[in-house]
Structure 1
Amino acid sequence: MSATHQHPDPTTDPTAFWEDRYRDSDRIWSGNPNPLLVREASDLSPGTALDLGCGEGADAVWLASRGWQVTGIDIAQVALDRAATHATDAGVAERITWERHVLGETFPDGSYDLVSAQFLQSPVALDTDGVLRRAADAVAVGGTLLVVMHAGWPSWAREEDHPFHATFPTIQEVLDVLALGDDWRIDTVEAVEKPSVSPDGVPGIRADNLWRATRLR
């Protein structure tokens, strides 16, 4: 999820918002996996993975293509239907289970060798702190928690152009929320900048924050 595409009232029902958001176009995302997921997960041995906010399924399909058994979660059934089609077209449908959850209200059962939360930032109601804590709880011993979030607006955007509240937590704020303790090893905490282009073709920079940790016991 990203906070930079629409201008809703923050009190908008999140399910209705995201269903409408996906229905507005045939495809929202690129169809490619998130680069920081690829960078951080390529060295992991395949096991079970939980993809929170899976959208149209690119991350889940990439993981499945590398041998992972994936559970993909999203609030929007439209997105999940597109994700399932993507998985079928890629020949990995048997390796992915799709589940609809309103994160913050419901959460998938079980524990996983990888829990990935890529850009769980929403312009409408989302208990991000609660979801991140449950994400950490869902990591199996020896497993990996991977969280990536936008660190702010892209350089070509102005906050005043977006009349809703957007939250960009700092690296320390997310560490405080997770409060991982001695049962965990922090592997990567990093601010990453990458080229970004506005919808009008204006070049700039987008900054993201990344957290990766391993559950030790």
Structure 2
Amino acid sequence: MDSTRPQPPTAAAGTGDRGAPSEDAEQFWERHYRTRRAWDARVNPLLAETAAPLRPGAALDLGCGAGGDTIWLAQQGWHVTAVDISATALERIRERAHDLGIAGRVATEQHDLARSFPAGEFDLVSAQYFHTPFPLLRGRVLRTAARALRPGGLLLIVDHGSTAPWSWNQDPDLHYPTPTEIAAELDLDPAHWSVPRADMPRRRATGPADETATVVDNVLLVQRTAG
């Protein structure tokens, strides 16, 4: 997904409509992927910017959704574990990877990240727009992600930093945690993790009805420096 398109809602990253009171998270995201039109699943630009200079290794895409990041990483030579709560989303990623001849570099795992986390160690963990209308101990998930890094590995967290005009949540008092606040919540030992980047860049985005607006991204990049 490019920087001019809206981020589609995913199992752990989304700004979509609220679920019905009786729905659980899995039902909500399954309904989303079964009933909505296909997104233009391009790589998120901040992920491409971060990963492009790296030597490909093992990557984990948390809340992979439509799979733009997973497919792009695999095309660059990464071996990617794509994680989402939606079986439909994961099936579509497998089909896309097969069509592109990169199925051998893409593994999919269905997880409700509020309850389980994929096993393994990774050189890169991507958490793009890791928001959800359902209860989630986000800090705990992201701490687990940081601990899943190999020494030298990177955790890239990109969050919404402002409310787009097309967002479902237009609460004027909504607070978006800053990169500094996110880092404080993770509470990682500086003897083992460093923060190479923490900033709030702006970009021009396009909504579902082709309206445009300037939005803010909150970016936190964490690196594991020791085992």
Q: Give the C-alpha shift of residue 3 in structure 1.
A: 4.0
Distance 1:119 1:158, change over 3 A: closer
Farther off after superposition, 2-11 or 187-196: 2-11
Q: Cα–Cα, structure 1 residues 13 and 160, in superposed 2: closer, same or farther, change >3 Å?
A: closer
Q: Which residue of 1 aligns with 2:184?
A: 176
TM-score, normalised to structure 2, is: 0.86
List, as ranges, runs of 4+ consecutive aligned residues in structure 1 with deviation greater than 6 Å. none
* Structure 2, unaligned runs of 5 or more: 1-9
SS state at 1:125 partner: coil
- Does the C-alpha gap of structure 1 residues 11 and 205 become closer, same or farther in structure 2, counting only changes over 3 Å? farther
For residues 157 and 134 of structure 1, what CA distance do their matches in structure 2 show?
Answer: 32
Which whole-Å deviations, capped at 9, do the CAs of 1:168-203 have from their partners, x for residues lacking one? 322222111222222122111110111123333332
The equivalent position to 1:52 in structure 2, one of 62, 69, 85, is: 62
Structure 2 equivalent of residue 203 of structure 1: 212
TM-score, normalised via structure 1 length: 0.90
The offset of 1:158, in angstroms, is 7.2
Matched, 1:21 2:32: yes
Deviation at 1:206, TM superposition (A): 1.4
Give SS of 2:30's match: helix
Q: Does residue 147 of the first structure (1) align with residue 160 of the second (2)?
A: no
Cα-to-partner distance string for 1:31-82 (whole Å, 9 max, x where unaligned): 1111110001111111111111111221111111111111110000010001
Classify 1:63/1:158 alpha carbon distance in 2 versus 1 (closer, same or farther; 3 Å): closer
SS in 2 for 1:142: strand
Deviation larger for 194-203 or 56-65: 194-203
Residues in 1 aligned to 2:155 and 2:41: alpha-carbon distance in whole angstroms = 23
SS at match of 2:196: strand
In structure 2, what is the Cα distance between the partners aligned to 1:12 and 1:144? Answer: 34
2:35 maps to a residue whose letter is D
Question: SS of the counterpart of 2:194?
Answer: strand
* 1:13/1:125 contact within 8 Å kept: no
Counterpart Cα distance in 1 of 2:175 and 2:34: 25
Gaps of 5+ in 1: none
2:144 aligned residue: 134
Q: Any conservation in 2 of the 1:183–1:215 contact (CA below 8 Å)?
A: yes
1: CA distance, partners of 2:33 / 2:166 = 22
